[in-house]
Amino acid sequence: MLPVFGQAPTEPETTHEETGACSDACCSENTADAVAVAPLTPRTREANPQAYRGRTPGSGSIARTVVRVEGMDCASCAATVEKRVGQLPGMHRAVVNFAAGRLDAEHELDLDLQEIEKAVRDAGYGVGSTQGVEMTPFWRTPRAVSVLVSALLFALGLALGFAGSPEVARVGVYLAAIAVGGVPIFRAALAGLRARHLDMNVLMSAATVGAVAIGQWAEAASVVVLFAAGNALQIYAIDRTRGAVRALAGLAPDEVLVRRGGAERVVAAGEVTVGETVIVRPGERLALDGEVLEGRTTVDESPVTGESTPVEKGPGDSVYSGSLNGTGGVLVRALREAGDSTLQRITRLVEEAQAKKAPAEQFVDRFSRLYTPLVVATAAVLAVVPPLLGGQFDTWFYRGLALLIIACPCALVISTPVTVVSGIGAASRRGILIKGGAALEAAGRLKALAFDKTGTLTEGRPILARVVALAEPGERCDESEALGLAAALERRSEHPLAHAILSAGAEQAVDGLPPVVNFRSVPGRGAEGEVSGRSYLIGSPRLFEERGVSLVPAREALAEVEREGETPVILGGEGGPLAVFGLADAVRPDARATLEELRAAGVGELVMLTGDAEAPARRIARELGVGYRARLLPEQKVEAVRELVLEHGDVGMVGDGVNDAPALAASSVGFAMGAAGTDVALETADVALMQDDLPKLAEAVLLSRAAERIIRQNVAVSIAIKGLFVLLAPFGLVALWLAVLADMGTSIAVTLNGLRLFRKGSA
């Protein structure tokens, strides 16, 4: 059991098993009167159970508790737990997150924590340990063992039947198989009945009891064995996905080496305060977000950003909790407390995102609420009415039982959430945070994408695009010589345009740049200096106009540069202008390939929205082959996105998550670039790309498209198989074992189909 207070814990949990966080926004999705809890410092239950209790000003004293629930294999199970716990005296609200396997409860202080655990167990499910214990292999778990024993007993019963053994022996073996395999099923069914919730355990238990009542012992045992085996396999598959997401939190170490008062000491990560110096040795994982103060190393940031290649880090660079340090030792200044690290926030947001229902899941929920009562009522009519009209009771009762099993909507209900859980988990492993099933589905339906220009499609820094050497009477230099002179003059300048010229010139200068004397910067205009005894000017056209230098010889070159949307820089000597340089924002090297991949994925309309002037916007758009709209103010970007939504339906917006926040909000799906460590981007974007890596955008869209395709497959297959068996059962064409096999087989099939997404997310 985990304590959670307020929006986020103030220090990390003691194990990777559960992060223990539920924001009020998450909780309020399920109820309109979510209760805020005053933040407290969590402690372990063993140390002091009262530490779980917090006071809410003005609303009395309540506690918020998080419990890991084990054994749930579909949303129907979660509803049973939710209702059972919700009936406890003093319980304000109980919400079960099936995707994360977690119960979030708010209750009175006098409600003992053991009572909550007991209620979960009474509902037929287990309570997971929050301590860092080694996970038991699946085949050694009590559920797997009971399924195996039950299956062996069932096989023995069949063998006795073929051998012609006495009926008493066969019945005894079948009864043992039912008892061994059916205990968790019957216990969960009783809890469902007490909670007045007609879940799959109730339906299967009713079918088993009915089969026993009419003497169909083999059929009854087959129902239990097949259902128990199917449940165990589903739980195993889903728990693997849950565990992979929860394991993110366990990447950060519990203890760190800090420097305090001139001494070095090992302390708990949760005790480190912002500003303290942490010593990170080679091969260690970082426990907190921070900034490198001293030393150089390479860091594997894949748990946070999805970048598989280690990144070089030095003084001033940011590092993230959970990252693996390379061969260099570094001193790191803590920028966040352990419980508020980027890794912890990502883990919490992923679990909350997995709990948010997709539109397809909401449709399935509505469908199942109508489907199950209708089929159960039909089964009852089928079992009762024909015998009253003269039909054979055993025959029609048996057909009613088969239809009762088909009434279980398990496969249909699980078809969508398991895919959502798998898709979001797969994306998180690649450094892509998708904020819920709705965002996952919407990203999979995108027809158009709008992009911010600077920092998204371009690198946000100028590069030298062209050099035009000019011929003047008495003085001429070629392009290479002009670039060398310009680079020499710009060597002492701090202007970004100067850096672009210096970088290009330094690459071409084989013997180094010539020395400059009498250098003087002209703020806002350019610079001047002497090279080899001759005076030169470099800067904007305005500098030359102010110095009375005619630009007539450069008029054609300036017109060409401006026509291409580049920024002009002029190099001039005593006789006039010598060369014109065109500088432009650098297009990301992977931008064109990413856009082509998006087009191939079915995103037909790609538009760049920018506040830049017409000419530079046109140049970038032409180079990348996208549409564009220039000179847009923030509110005009929002209007442009809304127009695209009206025209195409599902439209995404890609930006930095801060400056483009209004446009991101106006789109169907907002993609924030480079969100690692950025609070605004993590909280506001529908999809946050942890790394400033444009190809991640194509990965996110492709993964979402795959998820939408799998959801459609799962829903279609589930409905088709259910519909087929509903039609066949009244005609006696469906045996009980076949109905269970079809139901559980379909459930396992859609589960495994959904989990294919998780394999796609392996970094």
Helix axes 142-163, 167-194, angle to 10 degrees: 150
Catalytic residue among 452, 585, 612, 650: 452
Rounded Cα distance between 492 and 513, Å, is 12
How many Å apart are CA 15 and CA 2, to the nearest integer?
10
Distance CA 287, CA 267 (A): 11
CB-based contact 725:406 (threshold 8 Å): yes
Q: Phi first, then psi: give them for residue 653, nearest 5 degrees.
A: -125, 130
For 5-8, which contacts have Cβ atoms below 8 Å and span 24 or more sequence positions?
A: 5/37, 5/38, 5/39, 5/40, 5/42, 5/54, 5/64, 6/36, 6/37, 6/38, 6/39, 6/40, 6/54, 7/39, 8/339, 8/340, 8/344, 8/345, 8/348
Measured CA to CA, the distance from residue 228 to residue 211 in angstroms comes to: 17
Sequence-distant (≥ 6) Cβ neighbours of residue 605 within 8 angstroms: 447, 448, 449, 627, 644, 648
3-class state of residue 406 by DSSP: helix
Comparing CA positions, the residue from 382, 378, 360, 359 lying closest to residue 370 is 378
Residue 758: enclosing H or E segment and its boundaries? helix 736-760
Cα separations in angstroms, 486 against 190, 531, 571, 577: 85, 10, 7, 12
743 is an active site residue? no
Q: Whose CA is closest to 132, among 253, 245, 10, 267?
A: 253
Amino acid (one-letter) located at 737: W
CA 142 to chain centre: 32
User: Can you say how many angstroms the Cα of residue 170 is from the centroid of all Cα atoms in its chain?
Assistant: 52
User: Coil, strand or helix: which one is 91?
Assistant: strand
CA dihedral 130, 135, 138, 140 (to 10 degrees): -100
**Dihedral sign, Cα of residue 310, residue 315, residue 319, residue 323:** positive
The SS3 call for residue 254 is coil
Between CA 295 and CA 370 the distance in angstroms is 64
307, 691 contact by CB (below 8 A): yes
Determine phi and psi for 98, rounding to 5 degrees: -60, -40
Distance of CA 268 to the CA centre of its chain: 28
Hey, which residues are catalytic here?
Answer: 452
